Structure 1
Amino acid sequence: MTTMAEQTAAQPVRGAEIRRHELAAFLRSRRERITPEQVGLPRGTRRRTPGLRREEVAQLSAVGVTWYTWLEQARNIQVSVQVLDALARTLLLDASERAHLFQLAGATDPTPAASCPSVTGALREMLRRLEPMPACIQNSRYDILAYNRPYGRLFGDLDAIPPEDRNCILLVYTNEEWQSALVHLEETQRMMAARLRAALAGHLGEPAWKMLLKRLKSASPAFRAHWQRYEVVGPRTKTKEYVNPYVGFLKLEHTDLWLSPELGARVVMYTAKDEQSQERLEKLYEMARTGSPA
């Protein structure tokens, strides 16, 4: 006969086991609904498994086949946030499904897809009142945590980008629309990589930083080359030149307003450097406000 203490101690163990089985079932269900064509794989003529095979998910997520099989078998293994992020991308999870995946795994999603409690209602109101100036809130990792309507159109259509991909340095190195908007692309990329390396010193070993660096190195040869230069640059105000896809050339002053004594979260805002840029910012704001086409 078990004692009350033994029953209490067993409850967390049973809860963890239930979560593992729910995670396994969730992964299987999402794997089986994706066609090979959706992820760029040939269907072949001898496919019996609905959706993707386990080995295909493992290959696309850069994890071992045996390890992924154990995960779908609800084995008691540790899952890092980097692996969860890779699985979410491979299985084409939407924001709700991604949040569910991390919850089942007992992990915290470190990307901008997760809600950020430090972005208060007052800060969102401040962003709104800065319009027509484009402004956003970023952390030291370049995650875009919140933004106003002009900023959402500054480099294209930010609303169309999945929340987990809303990271400035990732977009500057991998998104063609953002790259086309930068007049001095390579200089901007090098500067951002140097600023990221400077900020990394205070976050060594943190899962979210490791995940971002792994993704950047995997996705961009240019980032790998710039990262190997070991350049370090601190934050500074600078004039920026953009070719906006809706209103044309913009010459803007970039300013960081720090939200704490540490160099972490900050408001990033852009003010016009000349009358023409001011007129075009106002036009951009009006387009974003009314939802009118370019």
Structure 2
Amino acid sequence: MSDDQRSETRRELGAFLKSRRARIAPRDVGLAGDVRRRTPGLRREEVALLAGVGVTWYTWFEQGRDIQVSAHFLERVARALRLDAAERAHLFALAQNRPPPQAPGPASTVTPPLRRMLDSLPGPAYIKTARWDVLAWNPALVAVFGDLARIAPAHRNMLWLVFADPEYRGTMSDWEPDARSMLAKFRLEYGRHGDHPDFVRLVRELSDASPEFRRWWPEQDVLGAVEGVKRFRHPVAGEIEFEHTTFMLDHAPDLRLVVYTPLPGKDARKVRRLRQSLA
């Protein structure tokens, strides 16, 4: 980033912070109002007080001075200014040129439009959380891999199915490279949420259940989201090849849509016949 770009970003940051504090009335955050104040909303020192940070440091930050601030500082400022998720992400982008740390909150909802879109896909597809828990799946997935409803909700997790469910593991023609790839991709999510007890518990349970997981997890392999081809074995249709793609959901950034598209030709025909037989 050039010096001019950094200067413009700092000006944008200052304007954003000023606009956010201007919309908060002192009485809304438990501070005494002053009818003679010339500053709309909160003053800088009041934001610093609410955030628990130094007044001088916050003032320099809002003025766009070339200082380094931590994620902890930004989180405090975001809470003090009552920023929503989009505003918090914008603050981190302006201050650090990167998205904020992700923290799992209440489970996101699979909305009716999302459910209808999922059901309309011709290939197997499902929606998973950052912890890789499966929230929803479509009829094509049931036809090819079986109904996930028969699996206990506590184990309705893609990593658990791959490493600890013998039936699901048996459907994977290239189990070891595919399992290693999934583990390396999950490592990224674990890095963002590793202090959350649900993630810690999942890793502990998988380490107890799978010797491969226990052996590979300490290797620290990391892999970004990639597209590719996976092969699965069906007891009736035989081997089927799929292209797999993962999408972020705009309204729920903690969820992912995973789609398996059968390769054109015989693989697509096999999936179509399996769906017809299920219907």
TM-score normalised over the length of structure 1? 0.56
1:218 aligns with 2:214: no
Q: State the identity %.
A: 33
What is the aligned partner in structure 1 of residue 117 from structure 2? 126
**In structure 1, what is the equivalent of residue 181 of structure 2?**
191
Please give the residue correspondences for 1:69-218 in structure 2 after superposition, counting only pairs within 5 Å.
Answer: 116-130=107-121, 132-218=122-208
Q: Specify the alignment match of 2:271 in structure 1.
A: 281
What is the alpha-carbon distance in structure 2 between the residues aligned to residue 169 and residue 258 of structure 1?
19
Deviation digits for residues 76-124 of structure 1 (CA, Å, limit 9, x no counterpart): xxxxxxxxxxxxxxxxxxxxxxxxxxxxxxxxxx9xxxx9442111111
In 2: Cα distance, 1:120 partner to 1:234 partner: 27
Counterpart selection for 1:260 from 250, 255, 265: 250
Q: Secondary structure at the match of 1:212?
A: helix
Stretches of 4+ aligned residues off by more than 2 angstroms: 115-118, 152-159, 260-264
Report the CA distance shift for 1:220/1:263 in structure 2 as closer, same or farther (over 3 A): farther
Take 1:148 and 1:223, find their aligned partners in 2: how far apart are those partners?
28
Aligned counterparts of 2:259 and 2:228: Cα–Cα separation in 1:
11
Residue 107 of structure 1 is matched in structure 2 by none
2:218 is the counterpart of 1:228? yes
Aligned length: 175
Question: Compared with structure 1, are the counterparts of its residues 226 and 195 closer, same or farther at alpha carbon in structure 2 (3 Å cutoff)?
Answer: same
SS in structure 2 at match of 1:270? strand
Q: CA deviation at 1:139?
A: 1.7
Q: Which amino acid aligns with 2:135?
A: L
Mapped to 2, the partners of 1:124 and 1:244 lie a distance apart of 25
- Given the two structures, how large is their TM-score scaled by the length of structure 2? 0.59
Letter in 2 for 1:216: L
SS where residue 233 of structure 1 aligns?
Answer: coil
List per-residue Cα deviations over 1:109-153 (Å, max 9, x = no partner).
x9xxxx9442111111111111x3111111222111100011123
- Kept in 1, the 8 Å contact 2:108–2:252? The answer is no
> Residue 96 of structure 1 aligns with which residue?
none
Distance 1:119 1:163 in 2: 16
Deviation at 1:160, TM superposition (A): 1.5
Query: What's the secondary structure of 1:210's corresponding residue?
Result: helix
Return the letter of the residue paired with 2:277: M
Amino acid at match of 1:118: T
Mapped partners of 1:116, 1:140: distance in 2: 10
- Equivalent residue number for residue 232 of structure 2: 242
Aligned alpha-carbon RMSD (Å): 2.0
Q: Which structure 2 residue ranges, 5 or more long, are not aligned?
A: 1-103
User: What CA distance in whole angstroms lies between the structure 1 residues aligned with 2:111 and 2:199?
Assistant: 23
3-state SS of paired residue (2:269)? helix
Aligned partners of 1:156 and 1:245 also within 8 Å:
no
Superposition pairs of residues 35-50 of structure 1, within 5 angstroms: none
Q: 2:143 corresponds to which letter in structure 1?
A: R
Q: How big is each residue's C-alpha offset from its partner over 1:41-64, in whole Å with a ceiling of 9 and x where there is no partner?
A: xxxxxxxxxxxxxxxxxxxxxxxx
Contact persistence 2:131–2:189 (CA under 8 A):
yes
- Please tell me whether the aligned partners of residues 232 and 239 of structure 2 are also in contact (alpha carbons under 8 angstroms): yes
Change in 2 beyond 3 A, CA 1:182/1:281: same
Partner SS for 1:201: helix
Equivalent position SS for 2:136: strand
Conserved? CA contact 2:118–2:138, under 8 Å: yes
1:27-38 paired onto structure 2 within 5 Å: none
